[in-house]
Structure 1
């Protein structure tokens, strides 16, 4: 008898993952950070999982039950989620951004307790100034920019924080395939870039040219932002559609030094 087709795992933002944890009583939650980090702190109900223990859990869990995996920044969790997906688990999720953003999202009020019409006067004015419909947090403006993207591009940290708290889509892409994280790098606002990383931005999103935010910061001589992305776990080995990596696009000695370990 033929095996059922494998269902790909899904990546969730921290807010989406927190909502899933609240809603699914039979959810199995795994922490795949190192054991020492797990012992120091972990989410309530999370079980530590190492690679050699995956077969044990594969045999123990119902394949129809949801499985959610988190790590430090959302990279290793994808590897573990793929393992469960390979074993035909139907509902497997990896948390973008990892432990910290997920812990923060769980500590915050549930999304339904924060109505979308509770925008501050500053946010309401921002939406009006840029001709976004009132209350439509993910509306598209010129060039496909959502309010979150526009605020990130302008370095409006207070607007970005409020939009994130209200549930604006962190992973939306503009007409060029860029997310708010890329646009925050354009603004050169390190605190804003870090906030979007902490919120669970996809570090290795590739735009329509195959370029990542890491490549952009390297090619535009933004070493401080480049360092932030590397520390968060951005992959320096990703190649764009011209087959170039960040190290090959570095525009300054400072950027090249940060990427020299990736040159081989």
Structure 2
């Protein structure tokens, strides 16, 4: 972790006592969560552990039944994803939400298009040249390798598409980037591209929160791992931990209270 967690470090995003139910099903029960500046934090857990529900709450897509969320120490309430985005939180879900027929620049500015100056801008005419120039500069700054920002998304590889989606979140989410299974269905080289991009995003000052079922990928980039099981937070793993410890927490074979130096109680 670039900015080490310490007693003096204040979480950039903090949730306390989060609970969420869907009818008779309890998805989350009294879950605490914290993410620190310039940190990659992973959410681990089997299917049904509550990971997706938690990130939907953190990104404003769902509202918790109980609990509070703080951003930079200030309590906030998100009534929808737009509220989260306006507070610097951007999310990439598995479907990426890219428009395949549009070029890369248009996708980066989708819904936030730059307009031409003067009368044409007031009439809604888009400034394609400015968007392509800024898109190219932004992608270069993140070391995302594409032939041109004029390429349509449907010509890109899976790793390049994921990189474009992540680059868009960084362009608009200045503080926090949330990624849902960012390397799912990617080949080895494409996944490596995305993992390196996540590290560059962190090194530029953002906090990265991500879900992944791919343990090697998690242990390659995560500065800290929060483990959920059946809707509860059951432990925190540090980089010195190993995959067996993670699996044991996820399955309930051991408790974080076992005293292992690489694991912390929730």
TM bin, normalised by shorter chain, reads 0.3 to 0.5
Structure of greater relative contact order (alpha carbons < 8 Å, 6+ residues apart):
2
User: If each structure's helix is expressed as a fraction of its own residues, which one has the higher value?
Assistant: 1
TM-score w.r.t. length of structure 2 = 0.35
TM-score w.r.t. length of structure 1 = 0.36
User: If each structure's strand is expressed as a fraction of its own residues, which one has the higher value?
Assistant: 2
